Structure 1
Amino acid sequence: MDALTGLGLASSAGLNAWIPLLVLGLLDRYTQFVDLGPNFAWLSNGWVLIIFAVLLALEVVADKVPAIDSVNDVIQTVVRPTSGGIVFGSSMTSDIAGLTLGGQTATVTDPEQFVSSGTWVPIVIGVLLALLVHGVKALTRPVANTVSAGTAAPVLSTAEDGAAVLLSVVAVFLPVLVLLGLVGLAIGAWWLLRRRRRTGPPVYSV
């Protein structure tokens, strides 16, 4: 169950870096459903949550404007995988929805001990998973913009934000449904990539 929770949160981060971070931070701060423990308690700090909220607002706007959304995707190539690593790592060591997951993450005082302990593995998995979802999103968005003359950007972005919220919430409360959500994302990405093969690569005018 902890792996499914991490899977859902990291996939959500691939769509929007800030939503799963906010979901975990807010649930830890204001509810009893999530206890991030001392190593990830900073996610529920008031100032950190405000920063996350501001960055989320900026991305929500930027991701809905054609051309700017592609620039934003380039910037997010670093941010989203980083978020994925954080949320996957935290999910493996936290008490979520009454389930104590994994164990406490060891404080990194000895790099050699950190490597040998395997604590870094969930973080790397989260980074790679978020990077994969982000890559599919970044590839399909120009296709949709080209096919729709840019009108699909706000619609797709809103759908992606909604999917990120849904995946994050499901990952916390109903992790067994995470796989269904990922299947839905895969089907949507496959359909857009198929449209790209039919219409050819996007053509940009100067």
Structure 2
Amino acid sequence: MNALAVTPSTITALVVAVSFAAGLNVYATILSLGVMARMHWVVLPSGLESLGDTWIVVASGILFAGEFVADKIPGFDVIWNALHTFVRIPLAALMAYAATSHLSIGMQLVVTCLGAVIAAISHGTKTAARVAVTPSPEPVSNIALSTAEDGLVVGLMWFATHHPLTAAGAVVAMLAAGVGVAWWGARKIRAGWRRRFGRPGEVVLASNR
């Protein structure tokens, strides 16, 4: 059984990895941590040990199964991800808050805010990538992207509970790449908008004719 060292740096690193994963798929994140705790593969920090409770494992498993299907349907996945803005980020912040219950109030609030920001970035990156990929006429791109995200979340949770500092370093690199993907996705959206509706000035001129 692997027990995490309860130090501010280790817990912060774990929060970074968990928050990033939650921004991609919060149900898979909770399920992975819960199963590992339930199987006694890891000892989660005080505050997160309840993720191993039977009802949480079952509930997260059912929700993950639903997301596994919904997230692979072109078009619907964009709506699904948009709605989960109100699920992934708050739950990431809640897990960050729970994981840092042994730290000072000030440090706990800082790490909680950090977790929410990281979840927001990874969630925003995922949503932008989906908006960019969805117009593709074949569904393979959506399915491959979603499957890769699910695998990344599960793998990252195992790595974070065994090598949290290394996992956090990998997340920082992925966040930097994610910002680039989000910028690329925003350009794709803007280009598509212009192709369909023209520039705002062009629309106004056309309506005045």
Mark yes or no: TM-score above 0.5. Answer: yes
Deviation at 1:120, TM superposition (A): 3.5
What is residue 54 of structure 2 aligned with on the other side? 46
**Which stretch of structure 1 is more off in the superposition, 56-65 or 77-86?**
77-86
User: How many residue pairs get matched?
Assistant: 184
CA distance in 2 between counterparts of 1:8 and 1:54 reads 23
Percent identity between matched residues is: 24
SS at match of 1:13: helix
Deviation at 1:27, TM superposition (A): 2.4
SS at match of 2:192: coil
Distance 1:161 1:186, change over 3 A: farther
Distance 1:128 1:13, change over 3 A: same
CA distances 1:5-39 after superposition (whole Å, capped 9, x unpaired): 110110000000112212222222221521443x4
CA distance in 2 between counterparts of 1:76 and 1:56 reads 13
The match for 1:91 among 92, 99, 123 is 99
CA distance in 2 between counterparts of 1:189 and 1:118 reads 26
CA distances 1:132-153 after superposition (whole Å, capped 9, x unpaired): 2101111121112224654311
Answer whether contact 2:121 2:178 (CA < 8 A) is retained: no
The match for 2:72 among 64, 67, 91 is 64
TM-score, normalised with respect to structure 2: 0.74
Distance 1:36 1:180, change over 3 A: closer
Q: Which runs of 5+ in 1 are unaligned?
A: 94-102, 106-115
**Which stretch of structure 1 is more off in the superposition, 65-74 or 39-48?**
39-48
CA distance in 1 between counterparts of 2:177 and 2:93 reads 24
Answer whether contact 1:28 1:36 (CA < 8 A) is retained: no
SS at match of 1:31: coil
**Where do residues 1-206 of structure 1 align in structure 2 (5 Å cutoff)?**
1-31=10-40, 33-37=42-46, 39-93=47-101, 103=102, 119-147=108-136, 149-178=138-167, 179-184=169-174, 186-187=176-177, 190-191=180-181, 193-194=183-184, 197=187, 200-201=191-192
Deviation at 1:58, TM superposition (A): 0.3
Deviation at 1:196, TM superposition (A): 6.2
Root mean square deviation of aligned Cα: 2.8
Distance 1:91 1:172, change over 3 A: farther
Distance 1:186 1:146, change over 3 A: farther
